[in-house]
Structure 1
C-alpha cells in the first residue's frame, strides 16, 4: 500500500511538473529567499498570480533526485497536500484540498528543510488545466509563511487594484516639459508617463523661491490642485517607485534646451529621491 501511495505521489508530482515545463514562459523553480517579503514582493505576486490562498499543510513528500527532474543541486523538491483555509483570490472555486510542488533551499550542509504538518502559508499560483485540485506555484517565492498582517496586505493590494481609477501599470516615460516661472527660482516641470492601457498619468514638480519643492501625481488628464505625492506602500507608490527608470530617457527631453534638460533631470532625481527605494527581499525575475 505504501508503494502504491508513493507511485501516486510521484505520478501526480510529475503531472504538476509537466505543467511547469510545457508552458512557454515557465521556468524551473528557484530557491526561496528567507528574508521577510516586502510590500513590493507581495504586490509582484498578488497582481500577476490568478490564485492567492491561505492554506494549511496536511502532508508533504520529499521527492528523490531521480523523481525531481531539472532540480538544482542546492534545492529539495516536495510534493505537498494542503487544505485551503481561505481563498483570497481565484477566477473560480478550488476544492478544499489542493496539491502542488515546491522547491526549497537546502541548508549549508545539504540537508533538506522539514515541512511540518499544520504550518500555514500564503500561496500564489495558477490552476492546472484539466486537473482540479492541482495548482502550479507562480514563482520560486510563491509559498510564503502566513501571518495575518501579510494576508491583510495582499487583500489590500488586490482591493486597491480592482477599484475604479486604480493606478495603472507604467510602461515608460513619454515627454517631459519644463517652464520657468515669472520670478527667479520659480518653475514647473511635468512628466507624462506611458501606461499599459494608455491611461493618463503625470507627475508635476513645482518650485518656488524660499520653499521646498513640491510634487504631485495625477491619474487624469486634468491635474488636480489637491493632488499630492503617493503614500509609501500603496499601489500608486509601487507603480512608480518599482517601475520608473533611474535615468530619464533622452527622448523625453528632446524638445528642451540645455537649461531645460538640466532642470528636468534635477526634478526627476528629486521625484525618485522622494519616492524612495523599491525594496525587495529578492531580485525580481
Structure 2
C-alpha cells in the first residue's frame, strides 16, 4: 500500500475532507490531493503531524504494508464507520420528533404546538443524517436557540435577567433567575465548545482576512450598543430582537474562534 493510499484511507476513516485535513496541517487542498495520488511526498514535519493526528506511528504511516493502526495504540480501525452512530441517532431522533408531533397535536395543542414540541428532535435528526462533522455540536446549538426562543415568548424570560442578580427580590421568583443563569451558562459552554472544536484549524490574519476580522468586531460592538439603547425604549419588535441576538451570538462565536485559531497558528510558527 502506497503512502498516498494510506493517507487517503486514514483521512476517510476520520471523516475528514481533503480541505479539512489541509486546514489542520496549514497546507493547500491541492497539496493533500497530490500526496494521496502519490504525485508528491509530505515533508518530514507534515508526516509527523499526520502520524499524531491519525494516532499511528511514523513507521506505520510511511511503510508500504500494514500501515493501519494496531489495537490499543489510540488509532481508529479502518473498518469503523464514523458516520454510522450519527445516522442511527438521526433516525431515532426523527422518530421521536414525529411521535412528539403526533402526540401533542392529538392532545389539543394543534399542529403548531406539535411542531414546537417536535421540532428540536426533528431538526437534530436531520443534522445527524446530513452533517458528517460536529453533528453533536450543531445539535447543541439548535436545542439552545429553540429553548431560548421558547422561554422568550412563553415565559418572557432570557439570560439578561442575570444583570439584576444582586438586587433580586424573593417575590420575583428565584426559579426565573435560576433559569436565566442556566441559559447564560449554556451559551458560554456552547461558545467554548465551538472554539475548542475548531482549535486545530490554522488561520493567518493577513490582508483581507485581517480587515474582515476587525470589521466583524466593529459590527458586533456597534450592534450591541444599538441593541442596548433600543431595548430601553421599546419591546415591540421581540421577534426581530431575538433574531438580532442570535446573529450577534453567531458572529461573536465566529470571531472568538478565528481569534483563537490565529493565535494558535502564530504561536506554532514562533
TM bucket normalised to smaller: under 0.3
Instruction: Tell me the TM-score normalized by structure 1.
Output: 0.25
Which structure is higher in strand share?
A: 1
Q: Which has the higher contact order (CA 8 A, sep 6+)?
A: 1
Which structure is higher in helix share?
A: 2
